[in-house]
Amino acid sequence: MLNILWFIIWGLLWAMYFALDGFDLGIGMLFPFFGKTDQDKKTMLESIGPVWDANEVWLITAGGATFAAFPTTYAYMFSFLYLPLMLILYGLIIRAVCLEFRYKVNKPSLVSLLENGLFLGSLLPALLLGVAFGNIFQGLPIDQTGYHGNLITLLNPFGLITGILFVVAFLLHGSLWLSFRTEGDINLRAKALARKLWFITLFFAVLFLVSAYFVTNLYANYFSMPFLLIVPTLCVLGLLGAGFFINSSEIMAFLSSAICIIFLTFTGVGGLYPNLIPSNINNAFSLSAFNSSSSQYTLTVMTVVVIIFVPIVLAYKFWTYKTFSYKIKEGEVEGY
Amino acid sequence: MDVVTLSRLQFGATAMYHFIFVPLTLGLGILVAIMETLHYRTKNEIYLKMTKFWGRLFLINFVLGIVTGITLEFQFGTNWAQYSIYVGDIFGAPLAIEATLAFFLESTFLGVWLFGWKRISPKMHLISIWLVAFSSNLSALWILIANAWMQDPVGFVLKNNRAEMTNFAAVVFSPYAWLKFTHTITAGFVVGAFFVMGISAYHLLKKQNVEFFKKSFYIAATFGMISSLLVFFIGDMHAAEVAHVQPAKLAAMESFWNTEKAAPIYLLLVPDDAKKSNLVEAFPIPSLLSLLAYHDPNATVRGLNSFPQNDIPPVTPVFLSFRIMVGLGTLFIFLTILAWWFAKKDKLLNHRGFLRIMLYSLPLPYIATQVGWIVAEVGRQPWIVYGLLKTNDAVSKNLTIGDVILTLGIFIILYTALAVLDFTLLTYYARKGPLETD
């Protein structure tokens, strides 16, 4: 029972990370292209300034929870995917430093270095997280002697489709967040961009869902338990909602896009069950919620921690989002 | 070089680099919170200026602290997969709890504090900075609970080819963890205090913003004096705990080779790892080692030669690091007492030589905290979990030398660039002096 609960928590933590840091990464990727004036750029950073760091903590929590609940998965997931993970971490390091220090430096050469760093440091994690999960969805070549892949084998068509889907979905998510937090010209431009990105995201989402049928086993669980089809359905509804609300309701469009990302993650995770990291050589070497987990004692301790503290975390995070949901007025940039 | 050595280098380098920024976060966070409290209580503008000036330096440092911390959360898995499998049932829990309890709180309220000046009430703003200061110290508690378990494993059984937790309370309330925690955070407080005193001394020497920096100096000196005393006495208790649970580490700290009753400490000592003895031993203080380690002048202290020779740490680095740490710790007590006294009597400007000493002492607590970690971690070798698992058996099996050389190389380039950027920004904003508040 606890193993199943922690499997769901595992998926949820990744989903929360993608849905929350996703828009920060999206804005980071948009930064050098979308920000025409210094004012635009400041507004873009101001829109994510109060929240991006806490959003990134979901990733650290996902890592920590994987370690605590599924130590064998933690060990193999990150040692097998050594180089891509390291590249993701370098990207996140560069992103954070460039974002925070962009308006603390004046030298033009340094400014452009940091702006390019913000772009690359946002693109790299978005793309590679997608590639990594695209490969996990397909299964990794694992047998009794270990892992038989490398960085190049990860860049297979389905891995790349998932990677690009993450990039465009985060771009859409970021532009919707930007329209929610801004007004005037930048707001209109953000919406116009979101409309274009929506079509591109739709294309890659369909491509992902269709090709998943051919190259992964993700749908097996859904066909054997049809009520689970609600998960991919919600993903599609979220994406449709994001397109539907772009003009009428900025907050609904953003929340729909968040729902799309959360259920996209769950579509994959639900299809993986009971595995966290499937082997595409022989299922006997897959890492599952049962063969890679911590003891029942540790899972119980961690469950108590989650029950007590996660509601508190969610409460103050909700309060923060409420506090920082106001429209940033042009020329009233405060934090940077 | 093999994968183990390279992975140790990578972990050691990234962890030590991370720990350049962490202690300042621990100490300066509290100092900024104290300053904002003073403003909240007195409504004196100077304390608001202080909050903003030191808060900006806090922020620059904080950014480096988070980004260098992310890699550590994952490196147990990337490079130490066998370790993670063996101890994950116990070691993973405090890491996950650290993120859930501390990191969310810290990052959320730092954002609130930074962007909330006009958005939330002054009281809520004050609470935010205290939450940041509190949660950064809380995160230290959980990561040190994890680290203490590697030093003194408790509350577990060996089952299913791994260590499994049987008693969470024993892990959380391990005396080793709490000594290490209090020793580490008070060391961080000393770093914060010397940082503020050093930069204040710089401006006082130039006679800029004299009132502002005299007040900053006085707050830091008071905080630094209390912390220097605490870190020293907790350190003494911590060493006694080490003697109790890691006798080989204690012997390495003192380069003590042969078991003796009423063991002395030699003021001058040169270890010789190869000959398994000391090249020079001079100026003994009789019975002092027995007294400090066991609080009994006649106690027997085990020498390094009484342990299996494959189970003792490299002696020279541990010994030297320990001596430097203790020497600096002692110096901090004298310096902070003087600093506090001169600041209290408002005589700082009369003692330019002392101000200069305080300016140049700014890096010393950084050195002390770094060598402190060398004592703790090199002193634990060859074990990754003391007495249970050797470091050599803990590394990921699939990694190649090329993998680790590549990532270590990128780390070195990236971290050097970050260090330059950080140092440039800190010196720029530290020299610039307080901002005009709006």
Say which of B101, B119, B160 has its CB closest to residue A309: B101
> What is the pLDDT, as a whole number, of residue A150?
86
CB contact under 8 A, A61 and B168: no
Of B79, B93, B108, nearest to A320 by CB-CB distance is B108
Residues of B in contact with A86 (CB under 8 A): 78, 407, 410
Contact assignment for A83 to B403 by CB distance below 8 Å: yes
Q: In this predicted structure, what is the pLDDT of residue A329?
A: 83
Residue A156 CA to residue B245 CA, distance in Å, equals 52
Residue A55 burial (CB count, 10 A): 22
Report the 3 state secondary structure along chain A: CHHHHHHHHHHHHHHHHHHHHHHHHHHHHHHHHHCCCHHHHHHHHHHHCCCHHHHHHHHHHHHHHHHHHCHHHHHHHHHHCHHHHHHHHHHHHHHHHHHHHHHHCCCHHHHHHHHHHHHHHHHHHHHHHHHHHHHHHHCECEECCEECCCHHHHCCHHHHHHHHHHHHHHHHHHHHHHHHHECCHHHHHHHHHHHHHHHHHHHHHHHHHHHHHHHCCHHHHHHHCHHHHHHHHHHHHHHHHHHHHCCCCHHHHHHHHHHHHHHHHHHHHHHHCCEEECECCCHHHCEECCCCCCCHHHHHHHHHHHHHHHHHHHHHHHHHHHHCCCCECCCCCCCC
Nearest C-alpha in A relative to B167: A297
Q: Do B71 and A61 touch (CB under 8 A)?
A: no
* Residues of B with Cβ-Cβ distance to A100 under 8 angstroms: 59-60, 63
Instruction: Give the closest-approach CA distance of B111 to chain A in angstroms.
Output: 4
How much is the ipTM here? 0.92
Is B410 part of the contact surface with chain A (CB cutoff 8 Å)?
yes
Half-sphere exposure of B40 (CA within 13 A, CB side): 16
pLDDT of residue A169: 97
Backbone angles phi, psi at B316, to 5 degrees: -55, -50
pLDDT, mean of each 10-residue run, chain B (438 residues): 92 94 96 96 94 94 92 92 93 94 95 91 96 96 96 93 93 96 97 97 93 95 97 93 92 92 90 88 89 89 91 94 96 97 92 95 96 95 92 90 93 93 92 71
Beta strands in B123-276 (DSSP E): 156-159, 162-165, 260-261, 265-272
* Pairwise CA distance, residues B187 & B218, whole Å: 19
How far is residue A38's CA from residue A45's CA, in Å, rounded to a whole number? 11
Q: Does B430 touch chain A (CB under 8 A)?
A: no
Q: Which residues of A touch B99 (CB under 8 A)?
A: 57, 60-61, 63-65
Task: Give the Å distances, CA to CA, from B66 to A46, A168, B316.
Answer: 19, 27, 32
Concatenated DSSP letters of B378-420: HTTTTEEETTTEEGGGSS-SS--HHHHHHHHHHHHHHHHHHHH
What is the Cα–Cα distance from A279 to A267, expressed in whole angstroms? 19
Pick the residue from chain B with its C-alpha nearest to A76.
Answer: B81
Supply the pLDDT for residue B279. 86
Round to whole Å and give the CA distance between B123 and B40. 8
DSSP B306: G
Contact B168, B4 (CB under 8 A): no
Name the token pair of B435: 């901002």
Interfacial B residues in 77-96 facing A (CB < 8 Å): 77-82, 84-85, 87-93, 95-96
Q: What is the pLDDT of residue B433?
A: 86
Touching check for B67 and chain A: CB below 8 Å? yes
Q: Which of B59, B63, B398 is the closest to A79 by Cβ?
A: B398
Low-confidence ranges of chain A (pLDDT < 70): 331-336
Domain locations along chain A: 2-323
Is A326's CB within 8 Å of B64's CB?
A: no
Query: Is A298 in contact with B93 (Cβ distance < 8 A)?
Result: yes
Q: For the domain A2-323, what is the CATH superfamily, name and number?
A: Formate dehydrogenase/DMSO reductase domain (1.20.1630.10)
**Contact status of B104 with chain A (Cβ, < 8 Å):** yes
Of A46, A63, A147, the CB nearest to B74: A63
B25-60 per-residue burial string, b: 16 or more CB within 10 A, e: under 16: bbbbbbbbbbbbebbeeeeeebbbbbbbbbbbbbbb
Q: Could A316 and B118 be called an inter-chain contact, meaning their C-beta atoms sit closer than 8 Å?
A: no
Torsion of CA A193, A196, A202, A205, to 10 degrees: -60
Q: Which helix H or strand E contains B100, and what residues bound it? A: none
Which of A64, A94, A324 is the closest to B73 by Cβ? Answer: A64
Backbone phi and psi for residue A19, each to the nearest 5 degrees, phi listed first: -70, -30
What's the pLDDT at B273?
A: 87
Determine the pLDDT at residue B436: 56
Q: Which residues of B touch A101 (CB under 8 A)?
A: 60, 63, 421, 425
CB pairs under 8 A between A and B: 216
To probe the interface with A, which of B21, B52, B73 has the most A CB atoms within 10 Å?
B73
**Beta carbons of B10 and B410 less than 8 angstroms apart:** no
